[in-house]
Amino acid sequence: MGGDALRGGLKGWGVWNGPGEQASEVPVEFPDGTTPVVARAEIHHSQGAPCSLQAVLASPPPPLAAGDCFFQHIRVRLGMDLLFCTSGHELEFGCCPQDAWAQLGAPGDLTYKKVDTMVIHAGQPHGASEFRQDYFYNYYHLGMDILFDGATHRAKKFVLHTNHVGHADFNSYVKCNFVIEKPDSGGAGHDGEGSRSDTVTADSTWEEVQRCYGQSGRPAVHMTGAASNPFGPTYFFGYPNVTFEIMRNGHIASVTLFSTAGEGKDASSQPM
């Protein structure tokens, strides 16, 4: 790695300050008083010429073998389905766990959704069975989660992760290469391509989201693990059938997809 890369990527020993990051937004001290330290340094051959970090990040990725589904485009039609463009697989709202296994394979993990205790202790109709907790299929290698209803075992939400630096879930998921179509855009091609003005991707900023969907109302402020999270809160902005989690630097942290009543197969319209 050339000197320019070190000067552009590391501001002092062990503190990461990558492209687009303001020094004031990078945590320099954790709640316990310790500071971030270098965990890994990558050395790149620059053939004798200076090599900046921006040039390394902008270099094209190596080609994939024919039929390889790594980092495939996921085309999202809001309130309807997700199309995996390379493999040709498709998941709809209201699909069952067997559909997910058949299309995507076994999930990396199964986790149960945290439930409001007021919901658990709410009055139940006479003869109703005990409360059944909703659960997630976690597909870390695809950068996505599927939320199933604990009673009907039907998919009611999809959560897509961008894996941006500066988020509490960084490096827990592979970046999800999604393309979300604007409802009235006429649809993008099956290769996931579309103009930047009518689609939102994992690399879109909050300004680009607003240009596509219009202004949103006041956000819900979310603070995960305040005692151990040095990155600050994120902000949830809602639109019909989609909620965007936005970081302080304006990048998308995650996208939650859901379906309004009557769309999809027995889909739930409850927000996350």
264/41 Cα distance (integer angstroms):
46
**Stretch 136-161: mean pLDDT:** 96
The residue among 162, 180, 181, 182 whose CA lies nearest residue 172 is 162
* pLDDT over threshold 60, residue 93: yes
Question: In b/e form, how buried is each residue of 30-61, taking b as 16+ CB within 10 angstroms?
Answer: eeeeeeeeeeeeeeeeeeeeebbbebeeeeee
Its pTM stands at 0.70
User: In the prediction, which pLDDT does 185 show?
Assistant: 56
Comparing 20-24, 111-115, 213-217, the range with the smallest average pLDDT is 20-24
Residues 51/1, Cβ–Cβ less than 8 Å: yes
- Residue pair 81/100 in contact (Cβ under 8 Å)? The answer is no
Does 214 score more than 80 pLDDT? yes
Within its chain, how far is the Cα of 248 from the centroid? 15
Q: What is the pLDDT of residue 271?
A: 41
With a CB cutoff of 8 Å and minimum separation 6, the contacts of 163 are 143, 169, 170, 171, 172, 173, 174, 175, 176
Nearest Cα neighbor of 97 from 89, 106, 88 is: 106
